[in-house]
Structure 1
Amino acid sequence: MKDKKEIQRLFKEGKKCSCEGAKLFFQGNHLSHNRVVFTCARNYGNAVQRNYSRRLSREAYRLMKHQLFSGYDIVVLIYPGKDEFQERLKQLQVLFKKAGLLRRTE
Protein backbone atom coordinates (compact mmCIF):
# COMPACT_ATOMS: atom_id res chain seq x y z
CA MET A 1 0.00 0.00 0.00
CA LYS A 2 1.55 3.24 -1.08
CA ASP A 3 -1.42 5.42 -1.99
CA LYS A 4 -1.98 8.14 0.62
CA LYS A 5 -5.75 8.08 0.05
CA GLU A 6 -5.93 4.33 0.76
CA ILE A 7 -3.95 4.75 3.97
CA GLN A 8 -6.14 7.64 5.12
CA ARG A 9 -9.27 5.60 4.30
CA LEU A 10 -7.95 2.79 6.46
CA PHE A 11 -7.36 5.21 9.35
CA LYS A 12 -10.97 6.42 9.09
CA GLU A 13 -12.89 3.26 8.16
CA GLY A 14 -10.72 0.37 9.32
CA LYS A 15 -11.08 -1.65 12.49
CA LYS A 16 -8.67 -0.68 15.28
CA CYS A 17 -6.68 -2.44 17.97
CA SER A 18 -4.02 -0.98 20.22
CA CYS A 19 -1.39 -1.94 22.73
CA GLU A 20 1.26 0.01 24.56
CA GLY A 21 3.41 1.75 21.95
CA ALA A 22 1.49 0.82 18.80
CA LYS A 23 -1.91 0.84 17.12
CA LEU A 24 -3.21 -1.42 14.34
CA PHE A 25 -5.74 -0.47 11.67
CA PHE A 26 -6.99 -3.21 9.34
CA GLN A 27 -9.64 -3.99 6.75
CA GLY A 28 -10.23 -6.80 4.25
CA ASN A 29 -8.90 -6.20 0.74
CA HIS A 30 -10.26 -9.21 -1.25
CA LEU A 31 -6.73 -10.12 -2.38
CA SER A 32 -4.76 -13.28 -1.73
CA HIS A 33 -2.09 -11.38 0.21
CA ASN A 34 -1.74 -8.69 2.87
CA ARG A 35 -0.70 -5.14 2.12
CA VAL A 36 1.16 -3.61 5.07
CA VAL A 37 2.33 -0.11 5.96
CA PHE A 38 4.35 0.90 9.02
CA THR A 39 4.14 4.55 10.01
CA CYS A 40 5.27 6.61 12.98
CA ALA A 41 3.39 9.16 15.08
CA ARG A 42 4.06 12.81 14.27
CA ASN A 43 6.19 13.42 17.35
CA TYR A 44 8.50 10.47 16.66
CA GLY A 45 12.04 11.85 16.72
CA ASN A 46 14.09 12.55 13.62
CA ALA A 47 14.20 10.74 10.27
CA VAL A 48 16.95 8.34 11.37
CA GLN A 49 14.91 7.19 14.39
CA ARG A 50 11.72 6.81 12.33
CA ASN A 51 13.46 4.80 9.61
CA TYR A 52 15.14 2.54 12.18
CA SER A 53 11.80 1.92 13.89
CA ARG A 54 10.12 1.04 10.59
CA ARG A 55 12.98 -1.34 9.71
CA LEU A 56 12.55 -3.13 13.03
CA SER A 57 8.81 -3.39 12.43
CA ARG A 58 9.17 -4.72 8.89
CA GLU A 59 11.62 -7.39 10.05
CA ALA A 60 9.34 -8.44 12.92
CA TYR A 61 6.41 -8.64 10.48
CA ARG A 62 8.49 -10.66 8.01
CA LEU A 63 9.25 -13.25 10.68
CA MET A 64 5.61 -13.68 11.67
CA LYS A 65 3.70 -13.12 8.41
CA HIS A 66 3.34 -16.87 7.80
CA GLN A 67 1.27 -17.01 11.03
CA LEU A 68 -1.26 -14.41 9.79
CA PHE A 69 -4.44 -14.72 7.79
CA SER A 70 -4.23 -13.27 4.26
CA GLY A 71 -6.40 -10.74 2.48
CA TYR A 72 -6.05 -7.61 4.62
CA ASP A 73 -4.83 -4.05 4.32
CA ILE A 74 -2.88 -3.28 7.49
CA VAL A 75 -1.45 -0.05 8.91
CA VAL A 76 0.67 -0.18 12.06
CA LEU A 77 1.09 3.18 13.79
CA ILE A 78 4.17 3.24 16.02
CA TYR A 79 4.57 5.60 18.96
CA PRO A 80 7.88 6.76 20.47
CA GLY A 81 9.42 4.40 22.98
CA LYS A 82 12.03 1.73 23.18
CA ASP A 83 13.18 0.50 19.81
CA GLU A 84 14.25 -3.04 20.57
CA PHE A 85 13.53 -5.91 18.22
CA GLN A 86 12.08 -8.32 20.78
CA GLU A 87 9.77 -5.63 22.13
CA ARG A 88 8.54 -4.78 18.62
CA LEU A 89 7.94 -8.46 17.87
CA LYS A 90 5.86 -8.79 21.05
CA GLN A 91 3.89 -5.64 20.17
CA LEU A 92 2.99 -7.00 16.75
CA GLN A 93 2.02 -10.38 18.18
CA VAL A 94 -0.30 -8.71 20.71
CA LEU A 95 -1.84 -6.46 18.06
CA PHE A 96 -2.46 -9.25 15.54
CA LYS A 97 -3.86 -11.52 18.24
CA LYS A 98 -6.27 -8.80 19.44
CA ALA A 99 -7.34 -8.18 15.85
CA GLY A 100 -7.99 -11.87 15.24
CA LEU A 101 -5.50 -11.99 12.37
CA LEU A 102 -3.10 -14.41 14.04
CA ARG A 103 -3.64 -18.08 13.21
CA ARG A 104 -3.60 -20.54 16.03
CA THR A 105 -0.20 -22.20 16.25
CA GLU A 106 -0.17 -25.53 18.04
Structure 2
Amino acid sequence: MEETLKSRKEIQSLFKAGKRVSRFPIVLVYLPNSLSKNRYLYCPERAIKTAVQRNRIKRKLRAVIHEEEKNFLKGFDIAILAKKEMLDLKHGELVKILVSLIHRIQ
Protein backbone atom coordinates (compact mmCIF):
# COMPACT_ATOMS: atom_id res chain seq x y z
CA MET A 1 0.00 0.00 0.00
CA GLU A 2 1.26 3.45 -0.88
CA GLU A 3 2.17 5.95 1.78
CA THR A 4 0.78 9.49 1.91
CA LEU A 5 2.98 12.53 2.39
CA LYS A 6 1.66 14.38 5.46
CA SER A 7 4.34 16.59 7.00
CA ARG A 8 3.80 20.29 6.29
CA LYS A 9 7.56 20.89 6.22
CA GLU A 10 8.16 18.09 3.70
CA ILE A 11 5.26 19.24 1.52
CA GLN A 12 6.64 22.79 1.43
CA SER A 13 10.11 21.56 0.50
CA LEU A 14 8.60 19.33 -2.21
CA PHE A 15 6.87 22.30 -3.87
CA LYS A 16 9.86 24.60 -3.37
CA ALA A 17 12.67 22.32 -4.61
CA GLY A 18 10.79 19.68 -6.60
CA LYS A 19 10.89 19.20 -10.37
CA ARG A 20 7.75 19.19 -12.49
CA VAL A 21 6.51 17.06 -15.36
CA SER A 22 3.08 17.49 -16.87
CA ARG A 23 0.63 16.09 -19.31
CA PHE A 24 -2.80 17.64 -19.36
CA PRO A 25 -4.78 17.38 -17.03
CA ILE A 26 -2.14 16.17 -14.52
CA VAL A 27 1.06 17.75 -13.20
CA LEU A 28 3.57 15.79 -11.10
CA VAL A 29 5.94 17.51 -8.70
CA TYR A 30 8.64 15.13 -7.49
CA LEU A 31 11.71 15.09 -5.30
CA PRO A 32 13.97 12.14 -4.39
CA ASN A 33 13.69 11.04 -0.75
CA SER A 34 15.98 8.91 1.39
CA LEU A 35 13.39 6.16 1.86
CA SER A 36 13.01 2.92 -0.05
CA LYS A 37 9.41 3.73 -1.01
CA ASN A 38 7.39 6.43 -2.71
CA ARG A 39 5.18 8.83 -0.81
CA TYR A 40 2.26 10.50 -2.58
CA LEU A 41 0.26 13.70 -2.15
CA TYR A 42 -3.03 14.07 -4.05
CA CYS A 43 -4.01 17.67 -4.90
CA PRO A 44 -7.16 18.33 -6.92
CA GLU A 45 -7.41 21.99 -7.90
CA ARG A 46 -9.73 24.27 -5.93
CA ALA A 47 -11.64 25.20 -9.07
CA ILE A 48 -13.42 21.88 -8.58
CA LYS A 49 -16.42 23.20 -6.73
CA THR A 50 -17.61 20.41 -4.48
CA ALA A 51 -15.71 18.27 -2.02
CA VAL A 52 -17.49 15.24 -3.48
CA GLN A 53 -15.81 15.80 -6.85
CA ARG A 54 -12.40 16.55 -5.30
CA ASN A 55 -12.63 13.35 -3.24
CA ARG A 56 -13.64 11.39 -6.34
CA ILE A 57 -10.50 12.59 -8.12
CA LYS A 58 -8.36 11.53 -5.15
CA ARG A 59 -10.01 8.08 -5.11
CA LYS A 60 -9.39 7.61 -8.83
CA LEU A 61 -5.74 8.63 -8.48
CA ARG A 62 -5.23 6.33 -5.48
CA ALA A 63 -6.75 3.42 -7.43
CA VAL A 64 -4.33 3.92 -10.33
CA ILE A 65 -1.33 4.23 -8.00
CA HIS A 66 -2.40 1.10 -6.11
CA GLU A 67 -2.68 -0.89 -9.37
CA GLU A 68 0.53 0.30 -10.98
CA GLU A 69 2.93 1.09 -8.10
CA LYS A 70 4.80 -2.22 -8.35
CA ASN A 71 6.22 -1.02 -11.70
CA PHE A 72 7.52 2.33 -10.38
CA LEU A 73 11.03 3.22 -9.29
CA LYS A 74 11.11 3.76 -5.50
CA GLY A 75 12.51 6.62 -3.44
CA PHE A 76 10.46 9.67 -4.46
CA ASP A 77 8.03 12.11 -2.88
CA ILE A 78 5.39 12.79 -5.54
CA ALA A 79 2.61 15.39 -5.55
CA ILE A 80 -0.09 14.73 -8.14
CA LEU A 81 -1.88 17.94 -9.13
CA ALA A 82 -5.15 17.27 -10.97
CA LYS A 83 -7.24 19.71 -12.97
CA LYS A 84 -11.03 19.48 -13.14
CA GLU A 85 -10.92 18.03 -16.66
CA MET A 86 -9.64 14.83 -15.08
CA LEU A 87 -13.23 14.03 -14.08
CA ASP A 88 -14.04 13.43 -17.78
CA LEU A 89 -11.27 10.85 -18.33
CA LYS A 90 -12.00 7.16 -18.49
CA HIS A 91 -9.98 4.88 -16.22
CA GLY A 92 -7.80 3.53 -19.03
CA GLU A 93 -6.85 7.02 -20.21
CA LEU A 94 -6.02 8.08 -16.67
CA VAL A 95 -3.79 5.03 -16.17
CA LYS A 96 -1.96 5.75 -19.43
CA ILE A 97 -1.33 9.42 -18.57
CA LEU A 98 -0.25 8.83 -14.97
CA VAL A 99 2.02 5.88 -15.79
CA SER A 100 3.71 7.81 -18.61
CA LEU A 101 4.34 10.76 -16.27
CA ILE A 102 5.81 8.58 -13.54
CA HIS A 103 8.05 6.79 -16.04
CA ARG A 104 9.34 10.20 -17.20
CA ILE A 105 10.57 10.76 -13.64
CA GLN A 106 12.77 7.69 -13.93
Residue 63 of structure 2 corresponds to: 59
In the superposition, the TM-score normalised over structure 1's length comes to 0.87
Structure 1 residue 5 displacement after superposition: 2.7
Structure 1 contact 37–75 (Cα < 8 Å) conserved: yes
Structure 1 residue 85 displacement after superposition: 1.9
Residue 47 of structure 2 corresponds to: 43
1:50-72 CA-partner distances (Å, limit 9, x unpaired): 00010000000111100001111
Distance 1:83 1:48, change over 3 A: farther
Residue 33 of structure 2 corresponds to: 29
**What fraction of aligned residue pairs are identical, expressed as a percent?**
33
1:94 is the counterpart of 2:96: no
Structure number with the higher helix fraction is: 2
1:84 is the counterpart of 2:98: no
CA RMSD across the alignment: 1.2
Q: Which runs of 5+ in 2 are unaligned?
A: none
Q: Which runs of 5+ in 1 are unaligned?
A: 101-106
How many residue pairs align between the two structures? Answer: 100
In the superposition, the TM-score normalised over structure 2's length comes to 0.87
Q: Which of 5, 11, 17 is the matching residue for 1:13?
A: 17
Structure 1 contact 53–83 (Cα < 8 Å) conserved: no
Residue 73 of structure 2 corresponds to: 69
After the TM superposition, which of the residue ranges 1-10 and 26-35 deviates more from structure 2?
1-10
Distance in 2 of aligned mates of 1:24 and 1:76: 5
Structure 1 residue 94 displacement after superposition: 1.9
